Copies of this chain bind each other. A is one copy, B any other.
Amino acid sequence: MTPPLRALVFDAYGTLFDPFAVRTRAEELFPGNGVALSQLWRSKQLEYSWLRTMMGRYENFWKITEDALVFSCRMLKLSSDKHQQDQLMQAYLTLPAFPEVKPALEKLSYLPLSVLSNGTPEMLSPLVASNGMTDFFKHIFSVDALRMYKPRPEIYKHAVASLGVSNDEIGFVSSNYWDIAGATSFGFRTYWLNRGAGTGDELGFTPSAIFASLLELPRVLT
């Protein structure tokens, strides 16, 4: 029999907070290229997190986010100076939460809620605070403590010790399918937030449930 859930853990970027919100500033700086830059930037940021973990050459998420931005500007032939890059990087510290996140978290707060993110503590604290969500979370776990990125199983395990409950009593919520696959492979009960009707990856692990808005999560959990 499935034990009751005793904790919920949320991914941050893409799940609670919108990394593509940088497209507004990107469009102001590079007219006509805002969408392309924000998409390539995000995709390279993730790729660099995976590759550096495999190479055993960890750099923190701030650094690889900068590196991904520099690459993306070069690739798109956007001539960017340090000041423009700084403006885009600063936007990462105040990414907006998706509109339904706060009302959904209010409904879910009968469970201990935490964040488990690739971001550094120095990125996550202002991000959560700028969205007025500091009080919602019992823990904000950063991969930086382990110097490797998701989906390494050590990352998911890191949260378990502090939560003091067993793997299968932890519900993990992410909009990133590869993160769901990693968390499922590790042993969490997983909930894929599929806002954009995306296609799930063929990685051999599937979530307990799929839903399209965080507001559906309380119903999905019961």
Contacts and interface: CB of A to CB of B under 8 A. Distances in A.
Main secondary structure of the interface of A (DSSP, over half): helix
A55 B182 contact: yes
A107 interface: no
Given A51-B50, A181-B55, A182-B55, A203 B153 contact: no
Interface residue range, chain A? 20 to 34
Given A74-B199, A199-B71, A185 B55 contact: yes
A52 interface: yes
A202 interface: yes
A67 B182 contact: no
B50 A50 contact: yes
B51 A181 contact: yes
B48 A201 contact: yes
Contacts of A59: 204
B55 A153 contact: yes
- 10 closest pairs, A vs B, by CB? A67-B202, A75-B199, A50-B50, A71-B202, A55-B185, A55-B151, A54-B152, A51-B178, A74-B199, A54-B151
